[in-house]
């Protein structure tokens, strides 16, 4: 924004901090950078403005909802946390809550509409962040508002409010009634929905669902509104596993699809943030692309292969590894320390697949959000 039109920035309110914690505990870590304060962010401002341009049939209800700061912050979190996963060529949801929600939403509105809403949200985020004048922000809001019909608003309400009923403002019912409780109208998947562990949306429009109870059929889970395939094991039978994402390199392992998809999602986020030299499961390099060797090799291993590696716009190398099985944590911690020894000018991270941070190393003088 130009001087005089810049949004007022400040630390988040206590209620916003509580909301962030509750939301992230349900959906997992943010996939796009979180602003210092959601309440004063460009994204929230654009979302609020967008209600002016929504259809007559939903405008009043949307304005009532979006006038509540907590609900508006929840919609913003939805964009940065849940819808951001749709940036990946084949979105993968490893948090059980988000995976189950994706199946339910696909039953409610269909995968095509769900994907369309996600892309509209992400376009709004990019345009809002790039805006430098109130006019540009308003234009982004107008494009978004005109693209979101009743079904799109229903999706936004579900993602923002499901599991967080305390953020919903009191609004007149009538036209809004189906927006506030839409999942009760979705085809029932029965108890099988509650056992979903992961969901992947592949390019042909199929949902790959894991964690479903043995003996559950795709028809009983998905009805006729979505095409599903289910894995009860690790996908080690040739031809029985899901299609693995390979945008950034060959599959990390076919026996552990969630691990491969976590790497692909991480590299997609970094590419969107302007990182270069995107590497998947390749030998560790330093920022100048020289092989990085461990100065104190363990068991003869003098170099490592980070799951995800890239160079930030400021020239700092960023390496990340994931732990699939907690029983392997000691081995992964040893590998983490070896990577730090090999390159102390790089950022190194170790996560569980659910997004829990185990260890992080940030070089002195390097900023890290």
**What is the reported pLDDT for 31?**
85
Query: Of residues 121 and 353, which shows the higher confidence score?
Result: 121
In a domain, 281, yes or no: yes
Last residue of a domain, one of 165, 185, 205: 185
Kindly report the pTM of this predicted structure.
Answer: 0.59
How large a percentage of the chain has pLDDT more than 70? Answer: 78
pLDDT digits (tens, 9 = 90+) for 194-242: 567 788 887 767 777 776 554 454 545 555 444 566 665 443 334 445 5
In a domain, 21, yes or no: yes
269 in the same domain as 149: no
Q: How far apart are CA 23 and CA 30, in angstroms?
A: 10
Domain count, the chain: 2
Instruction: Tell me the backbone φ, ψ of residue 311, rounded to 5 degrees.
Output: -115, 125
SS (HEC) of the chain: CCCCCCCCCCCCCHHHHHHHHHHHHHHCCCCCCCCCCCCCCHHHHHHHHHHHHCCHHHHHHHHHHHCCHHHHHHHHHHHHHHHHHHHCCCCEECCHHHHHHHHHHHHHHCHHHHHHHHHHHHHHHHHHHHCCCHHHHHHHHHHHHHHCCHHHHHHHHHHHHCCCHHHCCCCCCHHHHHHHCHHHHCCCCHHHHHHCCEEEECCCCEEEEECCCCCCCHHHHHCCCCEEEEECCCCCCCCCCCCCCCCCCCCCCCCCHHHHHHHHHHHHHHHHCCCEEEEECCCCECCCCCECCCCCCECCECCCCCCEEEECCCCCEEEEEEECCHHHHHHHHHHHHHHHHHCCCCEEEEEECCCCEEEEECCCCCCCC
pLDDT digits (tens, 9 = 90+) for 51-101: 999 998 889 889 988 988 888 999 999 999 999 988 887 888 888 888 888
**What is the reported pLDDT for 285?**
95
In a domain, 230, yes or no: no
CATH code, domain carrying 331: 3.40.1350
In a domain, 124, yes or no: yes
pLDDT beyond 50 at 1: no
129 in the same domain as 29: yes
**What is the reported pLDDT for 339?**
95
160 in the same domain as 76: yes
In a domain, 216, yes or no: no
Last residue of a domain, one of 132, 151, 185: 185
pLDDT beyond 50 at 2: no
Residue 239 has what DSSP assignment? T
The residue-averaged pLDDT of 130-156 equals: 93
287 in the same domain as 175: no
pLDDT digits (tens, 9 = 90+) for 307-329: 999 999 999 999 999 998 777 88
161 in the same domain as 49: yes
Count how many residues are written for the chain.
369
Q: What angle do CA 103, 105, 110 make, to 5 degrees?
A: 95
Last residue of a domain, one of 129, 160, 185: 185
Residue 138 structure tokens? 């308003």
Range of the domain at 322: 257-361
pLDDT beyond 90 at 144: yes
In a domain, 207, yes or no: no
What is the average pLDDT score of the chain?
A: 80
165 in the same domain as 270: no
**What is the reported pLDDT for 7?**
54
């Amino acid at each position: 924004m130009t001087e005089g039109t810049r949004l007022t920035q400040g630390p988040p309110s206590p209620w916003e901090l509580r909301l962030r914690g509750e939301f992230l505990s349900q959906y997992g870590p943010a996939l796009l950078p979180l602003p210092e304060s959601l309440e004063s962010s460009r994204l929230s401002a654009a979302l609020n403005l967008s209600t002016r341009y929504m259809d007559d049939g939903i405008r009043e209800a949307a304005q009532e909802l979006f006038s509540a700061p907590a609900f508006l912050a929840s919609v913003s979190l939805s964009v940065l946390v849940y819808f951001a996963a749709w940036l990946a060529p084949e979105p993968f949801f490893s948090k059980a809550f988000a995976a189950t929600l994706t199946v339910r939403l696909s039953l409610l509105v269909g995968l095509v509409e769900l994907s369309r809403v996600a892309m509209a949200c992400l376009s709004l985020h990019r345009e809002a962040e790039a805006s430098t004048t109130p006019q540009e922000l308003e234009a982004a809001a107008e494009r978004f508002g005109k693209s979101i019909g009743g079904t799109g608003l229903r999706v936004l309400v579900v993602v923002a409010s499901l599991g967080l009923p305390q953020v919903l403002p009191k609004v007149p019912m009538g036209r809004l009634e189906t927006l506030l409780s839409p999942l009760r109208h979705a085809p029932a998947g029965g108890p099988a929905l509650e056992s979903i562990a992961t969901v992947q949306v592949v390019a042909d429009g199929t949902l790959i669902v894991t964690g479903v109870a043995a003996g559950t059929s795709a028809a009983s889970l998905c009805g006729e509104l979505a095409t599903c395939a289910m894995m009860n094991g690790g996908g080690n039978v040739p031809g029985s596993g899901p299609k693995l994402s390979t945008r950034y390199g060959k599959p990390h392992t076919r026996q552990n699809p969630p691990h491969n998809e976590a790497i692909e999602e991480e590299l997609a986020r970094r590419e969107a943030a302007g990182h270069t030299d995107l590497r998947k499961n390749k030998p560790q390099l330093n920022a100048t692309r020289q092989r990085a060797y461990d100065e104190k090799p363990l068991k003869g291993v003098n170099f490592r292969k980070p799951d995800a590696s890239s160079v930030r716009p400021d020239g700092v190398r960023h390496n990340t590894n994931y732990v699939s099985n907690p029983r392997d944590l000691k081995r992964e911690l040893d590998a983490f320390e070896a990577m730090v020894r090999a390159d102390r000018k790089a950022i190194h991270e170790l996560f569980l697949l659910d997004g829990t941070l185990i260890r992080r190393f940030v070089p002195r003088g390097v900023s890290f959000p």
